[in-house]
Amino acid sequence: MVSGPRIAETLCQLGVTDVVWLPDSLLGTWETALAAEPRLRLLRVCREGEAWALAAGLLIGGRRPLVVVQCTGLFESGDALRNVLFDWRLPLWALVGYRSYLLAGSTDTARRFTEPVLAAWGLDTLLVESDDGLQRLAAFFRSCQAGGRAGVGLIAEGRG
Amino acid sequence: MALVPALEVLVALRRGQIVVTTMGATREWARLSHDPLDFHYLPSAMGHAPLLGLGLALALPEREVIAFNGDGGMLMGLGGLVTIAAARPANYTLVVLENGIYEVTGGQTTAGSGTVDFAAIGRAAGLTSVREFERLDDWRHAAPECLALPSPRMIVLHVEPVGSDYQLPTLEPAAGRLERFRAALAAG
């Protein structure tokens, strides 16, 4: 599992300024660590699609936002991310909780559709299963930044 | 009230604010204003202009932001009002243009046409200052005070459909408009 203190540290190293999010039961365990980090502003949305437009405004205004949602929220977000990532070509970063990835033999349809949906959008992705993957995640986002591309880090979850 | 004179009130009062337009508001505002701080959120994800405006307001606390939304767009994201209230921007005004129809698609009525109370929803969502106007004279008279109320503000304007001219404007590609908008922000 990816832990709150380590993700907060990683986000600060990357220069993330705002976490625009709707947590699930894994991502929600990060809240104490994220909230304790003065370099991060947490912005809670009511539905995940909102997060993309809010993050777009922050990015246009000069901030470095990060969208954090569960994969089910990614599914809900389709039109919003289509607009900001493709119409406006804004190189936003996101972390997406990959529900049930860690459950062997899971028939959770949220698990079944996550990678195909991201592939359909043509988004660059990186799977992170534990804190050991956070340096790769940081390198991935830096690569996205250098290339002016959006990027999605998939965070492996159990029940999510 | 008619839409164009209602917008002209804001054009006349504008003093350096960022203005985020969308859908039908873009069509009319783009005819009335050519300010480099106009951000025409078109193409858009319908209903999300208030959230994009919120992001700008939070990123740029030294600037005032006015974001438009139609009633059809507002109904697509009522939770966004709660998000705005929770974020507590100190420099934010949402203007909801309510005409009861989806004008740009041909005038079909919204699900809440004639029944929904956006001002009450805004208050219940926690927006600090909410005002509502049906008559142009009332709006014109109160507008300066409305823009000075504690933020976040919500102004609901009951406007008439424009008529048969339902087409959205043809704008230049988004990338060029975005680049110019960012340059305007950078220029102070």
Q: B3-186 is classed in which CATH architecture?
A: 3-Layer(aba) Sandwich (3.40)
CATH, residue A140: 3.40.50.970
Q: Per residue in B74-94, pLDDT tens?
A: 999 999 999 999 999 999 999
Suggest the residue from A64, A67, A69, A83 to mutate for an interface test with chain B (most B CBs closer than 10 A): A83
**pTM of this structure:** 0.97
Looking at the complex, report in whole angstroms how far the Cα of residue A88 sits from the nearest Cα belonging to chain B.
6
| Residues of B contacting chain A (CB within 8 angstroms) | 39, 43-46, 48-49, 51-60, 77, 79-80, 82-83, 86-87, 174-175, 178, 181-182, 185
Q: What angle do CA B188, A51, B77 make, to 5 degrees?
A: 105
Q: State whether A57 and B51 contact (CB < 8 Å).
A: yes
Domain ranges of chain B: 3-186
ipTM (interface predicted TM): 0.97
Q: State whether B55 and A47 contact (CB < 8 Å).
A: no
Which among A24, A6, A3 has a CA at the least distance from the CA of A69? A24
Average pLDDT estimate for A131-159: 97
Q: Per residue in B102-133, pLDDT tens?
A: 988 888 999 999 999 999 999 999 999 999 99
Sign of dihedral through CA atoms A53, A54, A55, A59?
A: positive
What is the crossing angle of helices B79-87 and B118-125, to 10°? 40
The chain B residue lying nearest A47, using CA atoms, is B79
Number of domains making up chain A:
1
Q: Per residue in B37-50, pLDDT tens?
A: 999 999 999 999 99
**Domain encompassing residue A92:** 4-156
